[in-house]
Structure 1
Amino acid sequence: MVDHDPSGPVAEAPAATPSSPSWPRWFRWTTGIGVLLVLALVAGLTTAVVVVRRSWPQTGGELSISALEGEVRVVRDDHGIPQIYADSTHDLMLAQGFVHAQDRFFEMDVRRHATAGRLSELFGDSGLETDLVVRTLGWRDVAEQELTMLRPATRSALDAYAEGVNAYLEGRSTSEMALEYTLLGLTGLDYQPESWSAVDSVAWLKAMAWDLRGNLEEEIGRAIAIATVGESRAADLYPAYPYDERAPIVEQGGVVGGVGGGDGRVFDQDASGPGGGALPRPPARDGGSTGTGTGTVAALARVRDVLAGVPALLGRGDGLGSNAWVVDGDHTDTGAPILANDPHLGISLPGVWTQVGLHCRTLSPECPYDVAGFSFSGVPGVVIGHNRDIAWGFTNLGPDVTDLYVERVTGDTWEYDGRQLPLTERTERIEVRDGDDVELTVRSTGHGPLLTDLARFADEDGIEITEDGLLDQVEGVAAAQEAGSTGGDAISLAWTALTPRPTVDALLALNRADDWTSFRQALSDFAVPGQNVVYADTEGHIGYQATGLVPVRGPANDGRLPAAGWRKDTDWTGSFVPYDALPSVLDPESGIIATANQAVIDPSRYPPYLTSDWDLGYRSDRINRLLAADDELSVAAMAAIQLDDRSAIGEALTPYLLDIDLPAGYYSDGQRLLRSWNYQEDAGSAAAAYFNVVWREVLERTFGDELPEVIRPDGGDRWFAVVSALLPRGKNGWWDDVRTDDKVERRSDILHDAMIAARDELTALESPSAREWTWGRLHELELRSSTLGESGIGIVERIFNRGGWEVGGGSSLVNATAWDARSGYQVVTAPSMRMIVPMDDLDAARWINLTGVSGHAFHPHYTDQTDLWARGETLPWVFSEDAVTDAADDVLLLKPEG
């Protein structure tokens, strides 16, 4: 563990190594600009301190804001977390916008440029690949349509929030907003942020939907796997969910009503089976999939390269998950429910969440908010948290809400149901800082925009979009296959998030909900991303509700592979699974509801198709076992479960490793560690360090000889299942290295060579002495700013990035600090926050953020929570006004002018 003083010197950023994560290629500046920045920054210590502190927020005293109707009190604790008190919804939301802008306006400004496809205006052509994707998908256009659909109260809250942001901007120079603007000014950027608007807030939800978009990567991966190793062997790599081994979230109920396809279909938690009103489920394969022929696979490779160019700021859509659970009073030490949540998202600095409390001094229909939790800077309200009556937590449901369609495009037409139809077109003009504007023509079929046009556009205009040579790899694979009837080489995307829906209504209604009925009603508008939502209330009830807009597909489209776009029977029908037919349960007999991205419900009980690409349930199974083992669970016990790092693959693979005959001495040192290993991956464990290096070697030696790099194992839950199924079959063909002509390898050969290689690697990376190995030294958390932290200039990166936290946990463990076996051992996704809420005493709740509330480098609250997070600690989360006042470290009064 490395402790960090955020006000002290910035630690040297580690040099990139082959095992480091592949960071986005954003914002690569010239050496000349780097020298200029260095000279400016070291011109004088006093000047540097002034420049750094100029943008820090005022958190005490008084400020006047003309748009306020009354006085607002902003109370911050010793970690800078604000609790806001006002007399009207308008003032409450205005103050939240002002406070968010104080703490994180640069982050907000970059996000709105990203979601509008306008990064190139700030960062030049290095932002162009992102802008091309976002403009093609039309996020901003969809957000503008959604704004017109919102309830008047929601729109008023968004407008008030925007007033607060703009009150912060008024009269401030960019150097008074963020250090980043000062440095960008040194590179010649002449810029003044435009006013914030309601659509800026709405658009950010598209980024979250993209980050949690479902099985798009699996569609591409399956197609490439089938083209590479054939359908039968590819099936080994995508195992089905084991319903008989790992319980889904909901184990009771079914869909009833609406017999004969009529309306009124609902999920009844007391139903004994699927019922006569069940929605149809497509067969597993019905000939509508066409994603494995030569031309199609090459086209999919182009699409994958385009998507890989989208930076982590907007989400990569893979490696993500979350834990959330709730237990009733029969399982707690107080007799009241306890709810816990820790969403697993990509790591960034600042983190995706910022904590806040929003309190109307007197609750009324005009001012109904008394809520606290985790919010998005740029969006009003609380996303995850609790109010005075209920608490809720989210995990990604992961419904299949994206489909790739292989299209037969001829000129400006596409084939559909035996006819040639015109493509729709629109033109997007992208302004590029220090460069010529770029004009993009977006063409769409009836399914969605053509993603392959982006690759062709980049080729024609000399824009580098391909990130890792995937196209060359897959074209070589595809050329070696027997040419099939692929039907087309254009790929379009259908995605529910491109259908305007009033999701923001749901967020604010959730903040106001006071019981199970109003909670469920609030979530009825929650369209994307589809979520599992757990619930508890102060009356002692617990519950679960699935949310999201889930398409009903035609009979020839099971969503698992790209579909034939010219066939009518592969279309989405235009209908969605009704909200009331999505699984939900109140007060289940077990008294436990645990969600960790596993299957929601057994399809034999619930025919409507949600997805077939669930997390395979290793985390959920472990959580359920730990919860069921204790009927006096406390807040502290819940926190311990969130930190559980028992390895399911460690438990499965280690007995086979112990049977391998290794040379005595040096090469058997690691094996001796495994003999007493308890399968826990804590940061100080030498055995965990050895096992994970062996695991990575096993994956590469088993699959690296046959699979293209893009679908090689990342080491997550799917690969736990794949390898666990192979282990009893010592002579299976996957063990054989096809690159060796004179030998057929078996399981024992692969494990032996992996253990030898792991010993040598740990000697090189850590120490010749096995007793000195630690998992945390390999498994470090590095927090990087997604903008200037990726500048390529060492001194600039050191200003904004922080690192060196040695942490435990790992991929598909409850303590899900995931790493990617294709690139190294560093953390790539992690619990973005942790919270625990006991419903009998809301002042006894606990919370922690991955980073601090501040987005200002060197500010005391930049990463002050990260040290605690890395040690597995949490902060007190007081809620009542008396407790908030007692914990106050600073108070700012916002007053109307005059």
Structure 2
Amino acid sequence: MLTLFRWTLRLTIGLIVGLCLAAVLVWYFAVRSLPDYNASHVVSGIAEELEIVRSTENVPHIFAGNDRDAFFALGLAHAQDRLFQMTVLRRAAQGRLAEIYGLRAFPADDLARRLGLARAARQALAAQDAQTRAALQAYADGVNQWVAIVNRDALGRGAPEFFLLPDEIAFWQPADSLAILKLYAAASSRQLRSEVLRAQLSLAAPERGQDLMAGLGEPALPDYASLFPGARISGAAPESGEGWPLDLAGYLTPFSGLSATAFAADAGRTTAGQPLLANDPQSALTMPSLWYLARLALQSGDVIGATIPGIPAIFSGRSDDLAWGIVPAQIDDADLYMEEVQPGDKDRYRGVQGWRDFAIRREIIRIRDIPDRAIILRETANGPLLSAASFGLGSVTPEGFAAALRWTGATAEDATLSALIGVMTAPDRDGAMAAARQWVAPAVTLTLADRDGVEERLVGALPQRSPEHATLGRMPTPGWIAANRWQDVLPAERSDATENGVNFAAGVLPPLQGEMPLGFDSDSALREARLRRLLDGREVHSRDSFIETQLDIVSPAARALLPLIGADLWFTGEPAAPGTPERQRQDALRLLAEWDGAMSEHLPEPLIYAAWLSALQDRLIRDDLGPLADRITALQPGFIERVYRNRNGAAAWCDIRQSAAVETCSTLSRQALDAAIVNLTERFGPDVTSWRWGDSHEAIQIHPALGPIPRLGWIANLRQSLSGGDSTLARAPLLGSGAQPFRPVSGPGYRGVYDLADPDSSVFIIASGQSGHPFSRHYDDLAVRWRRGEYVTMSLDPELARAAATGITRLLPAGQPRAGGDEPAAR
């Protein structure tokens, strides 16, 4: 027995020691991949010595003697901090995620291959101007130089993720940056998903389905079954928001829809007598954030702001004399076509002039740990065929048909990056607007400010549809009918006038008199109304008032809907006994009656409101739509407003078809509130006043690779409660389904406010730290400030940048000795 005890003790001690040694070894190799920001490197590809000065927040300030060297240094800085993210974004655009993630990423790869993002990017390289091609090549050289340094000096493979996921880091090519920009353009659009959902609603509820998505003044849609007789909901199950972390394996999800706000005030409406501009492009809440702060010293002038790692451009930022911001315009930039496949020959389809051949190519998708898979890609005159498994397409595709996609971003004649670089190097608004005429996809509202004023313009490619188009692009249509096809694709020629010294953008623009509609899927009407009210509510604005507006958490949807749904419920009688369900309802209604609509994480009212509206919307649509109701994950304020005002008979949604009684909307409101209170009581206890929005509205900023791995997720992911909601200006859209329906899944991944009266007082913030390395102190240091609504200042003054430097990386051209005759050893 004693011998057994001794051996057990020895084995236990040995196991503990082995685990400790393994942990130390993992730590050592992981820390080896942390870059030394005070190193000097001799590199090939630059003409002169340059410096990358790192601020306290790890923002690189790049000082170079020429533009090529500056873009080289940006590529190297991006690779130092975000190498894994860059390679994953590239893989997502190329359709090569399954090589590292395995079979679960196959659908994303299949979609990227069908969209042809990488192929179109390679073709688009020729469409860029000489300045942009030079920037792309210099940037690629900088990325590759850092990878070479990592390999030469054994710096932990450049990122700890590469120890866990099989990957060979291929040389960065100029077309890779364009492919990531194509991926961003695809993620900015939500049209494909909207078309599928409209078709599903038309099939499930042909009489009233349009109520759910119809915009103000939107013309009626034809029944989908009238376009394709015999069509019915079948095939692929409706999508659910529960799988969003998997969707974000590549950081950007095609056709998920990105939003933003931008607003500006000219000199006459500001306290300092110079324009102000604010911008907050949205992104998924990942670790690290999609955005990365950087400053470039260029020949045209210094620029500073938000970049996307992998792309050599500042999307939103400022120079000394110009500020700019972008808002994805949510125009209808994509159409689905149902192509009839020739019976007996799957390689032919019906065209305008009769049967014709698909353009066919075959590609191989490599998958980790299992054999490769071949896919056959077919393309029509309208665009590539998509898989029936994507976006629930199989549920609305009639038998004998296949779905093809026409999208503005698929073109090879895409000089969007040239436009973006032209904007950031322009001396003023006129120069920026001239450069922006090259913009293709995504179409954006470009907001500009210089010392002479502010301006807003829609830029990008606009599909031209015939007035005879069967659905005006809102649902899939027969692809062989000429009137349904795009008549042309033209650049936007639209500039909205500044009203009373301010302008703003939060989504799709309404059509001008006599124009065809630009789109029908804007979710921004309530936010735009709130933004207009805040901007018009002050005679003059300051940087602080712009920050206050950008961080506004008042829900205009709550203010609009609560008086409607609670009209017959507000408590007026004697208080019920404490602890009873009736008393809980009275307490909840009392709180909501006194609430100003602020979606503060510290208050119970936002949680009661969100749970009530969620339960109410589900009750309104569940009996009519059945399982399809699971796909309506976001609150539809316009739909609920139509129902409770009984617009065009929409109150019919309140009657439950399966019951004998005729329910009223007031009855459904009370039932939904009671159900919400029961659910919240089970989770948070019976005291209504102790509930907190932040307990449910907790963001999980997930690392797409390490986050889902047990235990590693505790290191790589970040959890923090947030204020705001679906319709607030500080937007935090909800997951809307599953066990955590109120979890925010996206937000303003970058915020910037630019003050041209005192440019160095302009402020910036991103939703994570600058580094993508989980062991770096800069991995999440900005995230807490972002959550609290704080910002950092970033100066273009070289002396201030150097005075606050926490590290200076020096790059020296190979073959050119330093003063004194010695070259530093490479680190």
What's the TM-score once normalised by structure 1's chain length?
0.82
Provide the secondary structure at the position in 1 that maps to 2:280.
strand
Deviations 1:294-319 (A, max 9, x none): 447547879999x9985462325346
Which amino acid in 2 is paired with 1:204? I
Which residue does 1:397 correspond to in 2?
Answer: 329
Residue 827 in structure 1 maps to residue 744 in structure 2 = yes
Residue 813 in structure 1 maps to residue 722 in structure 2 = no
Measured in 1, the distance between the counterparts of 2:642 and 2:517 equals 26
Which residue does 1:241 correspond to in 2?
Answer: 216
Which amino acid in 2 is paired with 1:633? H
Match of 1:382 among 299, 314, 329: 314
Aligned pairs for 1:290-301 within 5 A: 293-295=229-231, 297-298=233-234
Which amino acid in 2 is paired with 1:801? N
**C-alpha distance 300-149 of structure 1, shift in aligned 2 (>3 A):** farther
Residue 798 in structure 1 maps to residue 745 in structure 2 = no
Which residue does 1:176 correspond to in 2?
Answer: 157
Aligned pairs for 1:217-232 within 5 A: 217-230=193-206, 232=207
Residue 629 in structure 1 maps to residue 503 in structure 2 = no
Which residue does 1:20 correspond to in 2?
Answer: none
Deviations 1:309-342 (A, max 9, x none): 8546232534632110001122211111100011
Deviations 1:798-840 (A, max 9, x none): 232121x111100011111111333400111111111100111
Aligned pairs for 1:42-191 within 5 A: 43-173=21-151, 175-184=156-165, 189=166, 191=167
Which amino acid in 1 is paired with 2:443? G
| Runs of at least 5 residues in structure 2 that lack an aligned partner in the other structure | 1-14, 577-581, 818-827
Provide the secondary structure at the position in 1 that maps to 2:281.
strand
Contact 2:239-2:631 within 8 A present in 1 as well:
no
- Offset of residue 378 of structure 1: 0.8
- Offset of residue 675 of structure 1: 2.4
Contact 1:241-1:614 within 8 A present in 2 as well:
no
Deviations 1:188-242 (A, max 9, x none): x3x4311111111110011111111242122111111111111x41221123236
**C-alpha distance 439-867 of structure 1, shift in aligned 2 (>3 A):** same
**C-alpha distance 859-766 of structure 1, shift in aligned 2 (>3 A):** same
Measured in 2, the distance between the counterparts of 1:293 and 1:327 equals 53
Which residue does 1:350 correspond to in 2?
Answer: 288
Contact 1:658-1:675 within 8 A present in 2 as well:
no
Which residue does 1:18 correspond to in 2?
Answer: none
Measured in 2, the distance between the counterparts of 1:408 and 1:542 equals 50
Match of 1:728 among 621, 642, 645: 645
Which residue does 1:764 correspond to in 2?
Answer: 682
Match of 2:775 among 858, 861, 867: 858
Measured in 1, the distance between the counterparts of 2:149 and 2:59 equals 25
Deviations 1:757-816 (A, max 9, x none): 2222222222321221111111011100112323xx31232232121x111100011111
Measured in 1, the distance between the counterparts of 2:235 and 2:341 equals 13
**C-alpha distance 547-798 of structure 1, shift in aligned 2 (>3 A):** same
**C-alpha distance 433-543 of structure 1, shift in aligned 2 (>3 A):** same
RMSD of aligned residue pairs (Cα, Å): 2.8
Match of 1:745 among 663, 672, 692: 663
**C-alpha distance 87-546 of structure 1, shift in aligned 2 (>3 A):** same
Residue 424 in structure 1 maps to residue 359 in structure 2 = yes
Residue 698 in structure 1 maps to residue 622 in structure 2 = no
Match of 1:883 among 797, 800, 804: 800
Contact 2:203-2:225 within 8 A present in 1 as well:
no
Which residue does 1:571 correspond to in 2?
Answer: 485
Of residues 388-397 and 164-173 in structure 1, the stretch that sits farther from structure 2 once superposed is: 164-173
Which amino acid in 2 is paired with 1:865? L
Measured in 1, the distance between the counterparts of 2:111 and 2:301 equals 38
Which amino acid in 1 is paired with 2:532? N
Measured in 2, the distance between the counterparts of 1:44 and 1:449 equals 49
| Runs of at least 5 residues in structure 1 that lack an aligned partner in the other structure | 1-36, 244-282, 361-366, 456-464, 479-485
Contact 1:715-1:811 within 8 A present in 2 as well:
no
Which residue does 2:784 correspond to in 1?
Answer: 867
Measured in 1, the distance between the counterparts of 2:370 and 2:465 equals 44
Residue 562 in structure 1 maps to residue 476 in structure 2 = yes
Contact 1:113-1:119 within 8 A present in 2 as well:
yes
Match of 1:660 among 556, 569, 572: 569
Which residue does 2:417 correspond to in 1?
Answer: 504
Measured in 1, the distance between the counterparts of 2:393 and 2:653 equals 24
Aligned pairs for 1:259-408 within 5 A: 293-295=229-231, 297-298=233-234, 311=248, 313-318=251-256, 320-360=258-298, 367-408=299-340
Measured in 2, the distance between the counterparts of 1:316 and 1:683 equals 30
Residue 593 in structure 1 maps to residue 525 in structure 2 = no
Deviations 1:823-867 (A, max 9, x none): 400111111111100111110101110111100012111111110
Residue 847 in structure 1 maps to residue 764 in structure 2 = yes
Provide the secondary structure at the position in 2 that maps to 1:665.
helix
Q: Looking at both structures, which has the greater relative contact order when contacts are Cα pairs under 8 Å and sequence separation is at least 6?
A: 1
**C-alpha distance 145-499 of structure 1, shift in aligned 2 (>3 A):** same
Which residue does 1:197 correspond to in 2?
Answer: 173
**C-alpha distance 601-657 of structure 1, shift in aligned 2 (>3 A):** closer
Match of 1:670 among 588, 594, 597: 588
Measured in 1, the distance between the counterparts of 2:744 and 2:226 equals 36
Which amino acid in 2 is paired with 1:522? A
Provide the secondary structure at the position in 2 that maps to 1:64.
strand
Which residue does 2:454 correspond to in 1?
Answer: 542
Deviations 1:712-755 (A, max 9, x none): 575657x1111112223499221122232x32211121111111
Match of 2:183 among 207, 211, 226: 207
Residue 584 in structure 1 maps to residue 484 in structure 2 = no
Deviations 1:428-467 (A, max 9, x none): 122223322211111111111111xx34xxxxxxxxx689
Which amino acid in 1 is paired with 2:97? L
Which residue does 1:274 correspond to in 2?
Answer: none
Contact 1:503-1:527 within 8 A present in 2 as well:
yes
